[in-house]
Amino acid sequence: MPLRFSPWTYPPIAIGSLRTIAVDLDDTLNNFTQTLREHPFAYEESYVVQPATFDAYLERLRTQPHAVEELLSTEFAYFRAKIHLECYRLAQARPDGIAFMRWLKKEGWRIVICTQRDLRTSYEATQAWLMRNGIPFDYIFRAGNKIAFCKLWGIDILVDDNPFNIQYGNRYGVRVFYPITDENRHVRSQGAWAFDTFDQMMQWINA
| Residue range 169-197: mean pLDDT, rounded | 90
Domain span(s) for CATH 3.40.50.1000 in the chain: 3-30+93-204
What does the buried/exposed string (b/e) look like for 142-155 if buried means 16 or more CB atoms within 10 Å of the residue's CB? bbeebbebbeebeb
* Closest alpha carbon to 139 in 167, 114, 107: 114
Do residues 154 and 64 touch, judged by C-beta distance below 8 A?
Answer: no
Superfamily of domain 3-30+93-204: HAD superfamily/HAD-like (3.40.50.1000)
- 58-82, pLDDT tens digit by residue? 999 999 877 666 656 788 989 999 9
Distance from C-alpha of 23 to C-alpha of 39, rounded to nearest angstrom: 25
pLDDT at residue 5 tops 80? no
**Predicted local distance difference test score (pLDDT) of residue 155:** 96
**Predicted local distance difference test score (pLDDT) of residue 32:** 96
- The region of weakest confidence among 3-12, 129-138, 181-190, 193-202 is 3-12
Task: Please give the mean pLDDT across all residues of the chain.
Answer: 88
Residues ≥6 apart with Cβ < 8 Å to 130? 113, 137, 140
Strand order in the sheet with 139-142: 3-4, 139-142, 109-115, 19-23, 157-159, 175-179, 193-195
pLDDT at residue 2 tops 60? no
Higher pLDDT, 15 or 195: 195
Higher pLDDT, 199 or 2: 199
DSSP secondary structure, 36-83, as one string? HHHS-PPP-GGG-S-HHHHHHHHHHHHH-TTPPPPSS--HHHHHHHHH
Q: Taking each helix axis as running N to C, give the angle between helix 75-90 and helix 119-132, from 0 to 180 degrees, rounded to the nearest 10.
A: 10
* Beta-strand pair 139-142/157-159: unpaired
Q: Is 131 helix (H, G, I), strand (E, B) or coil?
A: helix
| Residue range 127-145: mean pLDDT, rounded | 97
Do residues 12 and 152 touch, judged by C-beta distance below 8 A?
Answer: yes
pLDDT at residue 147 tops 80? yes
pLDDT at residue 52 tops 60? yes
pLDDT at residue 117 tops 80? yes
Q: Is 35 helix (H, G, I), strand (E, B) or coil?
A: helix
Task: Write phi, then psi, for 164 (nearest 5 degrees).
Answer: -60, -45
pLDDT at residue 188 tops 90? no
**Predicted local distance difference test score (pLDDT) of residue 102:** 97
